[in-house]
Amino acid sequence: MNIDKKQMAIAIGILIAGILLGGLLFSGSGSGSHDTHEPSDSVHNHDHSGESASENEVWTCSMHPSVRQDGPGSCPICGMDLIPAASEEREDDYTMVMTESAIQLANVQTTPVIRDVPFRELHLPGRLRVDERRITRVTAYFPGRIITTKVNFTGAPIRKGEPMATIYSPELLTAQRELLESARQKERNPRLYESARTKFELWGFSDRQIDDLVEQGEVQRELEILAPVDGVVLQRNVTDQQYVSEGTVMFEVADLSRLWLVLEAYEEDLNWVSVGDSIHFKLRGETFSNHKSGNGSMAGDRHAVVHFIDPVVHPQRRTAGIRADIDNAGGLLKPDMLATGTLRAQMSGPKLMVPVTSVLWTGPRSLVYVRDFDADVPTFRVREVTLGPRAGDFYVIEDGLEEGEEVVFNGAFRIDSEFQLADRFSMMNREPGTGAVPVHDHGERDDHDRHEDSSAHEMDGHEDPFDDVPGEFRSQFTTAIDAYSRGKDALVDSDLDGAQEEFAEFRSRLESIGEHGLPGSGHESWMMSFTELHEQAGRIVNAGELEEARNAFRALSDELIRAVKLFGADGVVYHQYCPMAFDDEGGHWLSRESGIRNPYLPETMLMCGEIRNRFGE
């Protein structure tokens, strides 16, 4: 009994100590407690009727902000890790407070608005062409028959005064008789002699030929047609014993000592180009330092100066020609050589500029998020700005910002999503306070339902075109499709260099649109398409061989077909398919023409394929 009483006393003592210790530990939850260890940057620093912050914390996906869950996990749409949502503290419809943890997890980064002289590097495709001012056409001044041709192949070099052909003509015989007769009466009637001689001069005969006729004193059955200039025979339109009528172009001779460099600039780039601008260019297959000068020695980079800009834009390509004169005294350069030019243009004075990634494009007036570092807590304000032209990786800001303000250049879309979900002014919500907030998925639906919805969304036949795609976006998207089409043609020709050049242009056109370049209901779909198209185009540009490029082209085409269906394009585009490509797995592609020209099997099955769909008018 003594032992039992002693053990009972110990147990009672332990119980009392536990009660006292518990009171000390949890006294902070009472009305009169003071917790000095509460973190100042908690995700929700509000009174939630006794619930802890972690219990009320909302987690979302940075790419799909409509996903809202009560705890961490993976996004049911894209599989990305969820991050804490921003604070719900509300100052006004254009401001939002975020926690430091949410800012770090969303990798929000800012940079100052700068004032600098905007410049832009334009990479323009083109080719060398014959200077039209240096082309001479040798025509027949009278009807006759070509007896022999001295120039018997196209491309032959010719010097001024060298014979090109001999000709017989009744008119020429008559003119010779008149000349000889007037020469015999020259002393009595010099004007008659000069008139007869002038006729031969107008027909293209040289003074030496005329003097020889007078000296010989006999009518020649045939006379030589001489080259009027130095150059190269570009066209030979006559053969031996061929009859020609007056005005027939017998030969076309071009002086190739100077050529034209003609580059193509898209219409949206023309404002950056002026007569007198310097162009740095290279030809296909050469680097910027491995070509030779006219005397055969290694030369520096090629340069030219813009002399002319076409006044008319090509209706299909939407480009205008930029022309420069280049010297070709050594004859190493050939007409129709492909070239790539780089033109660095700049504006006349300094402008306000922000990174391209800072701007959420919604049309002429777009959105930028500005961080207020003067606020006690991390605060972001939405600002509507007027955009100027794009200058490389920057946009010129005409109105809406001041120099030195800190704008978000990484994570802007994440912040915009939070503004939208909080029913504040944002890219998708131009009327805050109306309650027009997307329905949030808090996890009530099971994984099976989500999987079925995702699979249905990925099926091409279950996706409907968006009806709010702006015309400006569709026009820009069409320029990218045109570059794709030219790249497809290069693959048909098994021309890897040509394909890589066009798909580099394709990527440039995509970048001009931007990942966030489509407002409205199709914004997220465009973001996904943009990422895939840009990545696959990069694989083509960096491919080491044709098969590697064609594999990337296959993946790019699959996504581009889906994008054209969703966003549309100007003109007609054909969806074509060959079941024999890739060892009978099949391959899809887009074409501007209805005729089949297979980019996957051009050497063996050029005509293999069928039209699966037709987009456009």
- Of the candidates 234, 235, 242, 194, the one whose C-alpha atom is nearest the C-alpha of residue 214 is 194
Report which of 595, 601, 509 is spatially closest to residue 554, judged by C-alpha positions. 601
Of 46-50, 278-282, 576-580, the poorest mean pLDDT is in 46-50
Q: Is residue 112 assigned to a domain?
A: no
Per-residue pLDDT at 25: 34
Domain match, 156 and 298 both = no
Whether 388 is covered by a domain: the verdict is no
Asked if 145 and 244 touch (Cβ cutoff 8 Å), the reply is yes
pLDDT at position 239 over 80: yes
Helix (H/G/I), strand (E/B), else coil: 526? helix
Structural domain containing residue 279: 122-131+256-346
Instruction: Tell me whether residue 138 is in a domain.
Output: yes
In a domain, 383, yes or no: no
Alpha helices in 77-141 (DSSP H): 100-105
Q: For residue 34, give every residue at least 6 positions away whose Cβ sits within 8 Å of its Cβ, in sequence order, or none.
A: 28
Question: How far apart (Å, rounded) are the C-alpha atoms in residues 500 and 546?
Answer: 10
How long, in residues, is the chain?
A: 617
Q: Which residues pair with 279 in a beta bridge?
A: 304, 343
Q: Are residues 475 and 501 in the same domain?
A: yes
Averaged pLDDT of the chain: 80
pLDDT exceeds cutoff 60 at 41? no
Token code pair at residue 267: 């219409």
**Cα 227 to Cα 161: distance, rounded to the nearest angstrom:** 5
Q: Is residue 2 pLDDT above 60, yes or no?
A: no
- Neighbouring CB atoms inside 10 A of 169's CB total 19
Q: What is the mean pLDDT of residues 438-450?
A: 39
Q: Which residue has the higher pLDDT, 42 or 467?
A: 467
Range 205-232 average pLDDT:
91
Which CATH number do you get for residue 470?
1.20.120
Are 283 and 169 members of one domain?
no
- 151 found inside a domain: yes
pLDDT tens figures, 585-611: 889 999 999 899 999 999 888 888 888
What is the reported pLDDT for 120?
83
What pLDDT score does 498 carry? 94
Mean pLDDT along residues 504-512: 91
Residues 200 and 264 in one domain: no
Section 335-357 average pLDDT:
89
Tell me the mean pLDDT in the region 309-335.
Answer: 89
Last residue of a domain, one of 290, 321, 346: 346
Region 419-425 average pLDDT: 78
Q: How many structural domains is the chain composed of? A: 3
pLDDT by residue (tens digit) across 362-414?
Answer: 655 688 999 998 888 889 999 999 988 888 788 899 999 999 999 999 888 87
DSSP string, 386-422: EEEEEETTEEEEEES--TT-EEEEESHHHHHHHHHHT
Closest CA to 297 of 265, 325, 332: 332
pLDDT at 491: 96
Asked if residue 65 belongs to a domain, the reply is no
- Residue 477 shares a structural domain with residue 595: yes
Query: Is 333 found in the same domain as 247?
Result: no
Assign residue 166 the CATH number of its domain.
Answer: 2.40.50.100
pLDDT confidence bin for 136, thresholds 50/70/90: very high
Give the model's confidence band at 550: pLDDT under 50 very low, under 70 low, under 90 confident, else very high: very high
User: Is residue 297's pLDDT more than 50?
Assistant: no
* Residue 88 scores a pLDDT above 50: no
Same domain, 248 and 298: no
Q: What is the mean pLDDT of residues 148-171?
A: 92
In this structure, are 500 and 609 located in the same domain? yes
The continuous run of DSSP H or E covering 385 comes out as strand 379-391
Q: Is pLDDT larger for residue 27 or for residue 512?
A: 512
Q: What is the structure's pLDDT at 65?
A: 60
Q: Which residues contact 474 (CB under 8 A, 6 or more apart)?
A: 567, 568, 569, 570
Task: Measure the CA–CA gap between 408 and 107, rounded to whole angstroms.
Answer: 10
Residue 464 burial (10 A CB sphere; 0-12, 13-18, 19+): exposed
pLDDT at 32 over 90: no
Choose one of 254, 281, 298: the last residue of a domain.
254
Query: pTM score, two decimals?
Result: 0.51
Summarised one tens digit per residue, pLDDT across range 162-209 is 999 999 999 999 999 999 999 988 888 889 999 999 999 999 899 999
CATH value at residue 276: 2.40.30.170
**Dist. CA 178–CA 197, nearest whole Å:** 9
Please report the pLDDT score of residue 260 as a whole number.
95
The answer to whether 309 touches 320, Cβ cutoff 8 Å, is yes
Report DSSP letters for 217-254, one per residue. -S--S-EEEEPSSSEEEEEE---TT-EE-TT-EEEEEE
Task: For residue 410, list its beta bridge partners.
Answer: 109
319-327 and 258-266: which strand pairing? antiparallel
Query: Is the residue at 56 inside a domain?
Result: no
Highest mean pLDDT among 56-70, 247-261, 523-537: 247-261
Question: What was the pLDDT predicted at 600?
Answer: 94
Q: What percent of the chain has pLDDT above 90?
A: 41
Q: Residues 585, 467: one domain? A: yes
Looking at the structure, do residues 226 and 325 belong to the same domain, yes or no?
Answer: no
The answer to whether residue 24 scores a pLDDT higher than 80 is no
Q: Which class for 487: exposed (0-12), middle (13-18), buried (19 or more C-beta within 10 A)? A: buried
- The average pLDDT across 107-130 equals 90
Last residue of a domain, one of 254, 288, 321: 254
Same domain as 242, residue 137 = yes
Q: How far is CA 378 from CA 87, 91, 406, 577, 613, in A?
A: 10, 13, 12, 53, 51
269 and 161, same structural domain? no
Residue 368 resides in a domain: no
pLDDT digits (tens, 9 = 90+) for 488-498: 999 999 999 99
Tell me which of 113-127, 164-178, 377-391, 514-528 is least confident. Answer: 514-528
